Amino acid sequence: MIDPVPPTSAGLLLHHRGPAPRLLLAHTGGPFWARKDARAWSVPKGLVEPGESHEQTARREFVEEIGVPVPTGPLVELGAFRYTSGKTVVVLALEVPADLVGSDEDPACEDLTQRAVSTVEVTWPPRSGRVVVVPEVDRAAWWGYDEAREKLVAGQVPVVDALVAALAR
């Protein structure tokens, strides 16, 4: 039997250098993740659809999950990051000006339910048969490199080092 190809996702990591470099991460939505912080954050990302490029997916998913347009600027591919599950996430980075943080266009938001964001159905409590609709991500925030390494899901922690290496070039 041939193993099915593991899914591939693509995501968009906004970052700024500023006096204190920061990365924009999204917190996974839903009741299971509500009280979790460490390893509960991610680059906004989603599955690559047939015929879609990594860039198209990353841009689409950013809008769907964060609820605002992608800022303008060139994207830099940081690489493909494989989870222990076999899933691969291709991450593209977009540098934004530091003064975006706190401005009217800042994509960070303490409660993304205030915006039109994508939702998913989950069974909650587990095995209850009760289905609830929750946002894919419930908030987005800026984190420094060290904080991001603690917040990110384990399979995405290497993204921080890949960004640092790309910025050093």
- The answer to whether position 3 is within a domain reads no
- The answer to whether position 91 is within a domain reads yes
Q: What is the mean pLDDT of the segment spanning 113-122?
A: 91
Over 90: is that where the pLDDT of 10 sits? yes
Q: What is residue 1's predicted lDDT score, i.e. its pLDDT?
A: 53
Extract the tokens encoding 156: 């995405």
- The answer to whether position 80 is within a domain reads yes
What's the CA gap between 65 and 42, in Å, rounded? Answer: 11
- The answer to whether position 1 is within a domain reads no
- The answer to whether position 60 is within a domain reads yes
Q: What is residue 19's predicted lDDT score, i.e. its pLDDT?
A: 86
What's the CA gap between 79 and 92, in Å, rounded? Answer: 7
Q: How many domains does the chain have?
A: 1
Give the domain range for residue 49.
8-168
Q: What is the mean pLDDT of the segment spanning 14-20?
A: 92
What CATH number should be reported for the domain holding residue 137? 3.90.79.10
- The answer to whether position 106 is within a domain reads yes
Q: What is the mean pLDDT of the segment spanning 78-87?
A: 94
Over 70: is that where the pLDDT of 155 sits? yes
* Mean of per-residue pLDDT scores for the chain: 94
Over 90: is that where the pLDDT of 67 sits? yes
Q: What is residue 18's predicted lDDT score, i.e. its pLDDT?
A: 80
Confidence of residue 4 (pLDDT cuts 50, 70, 90): low
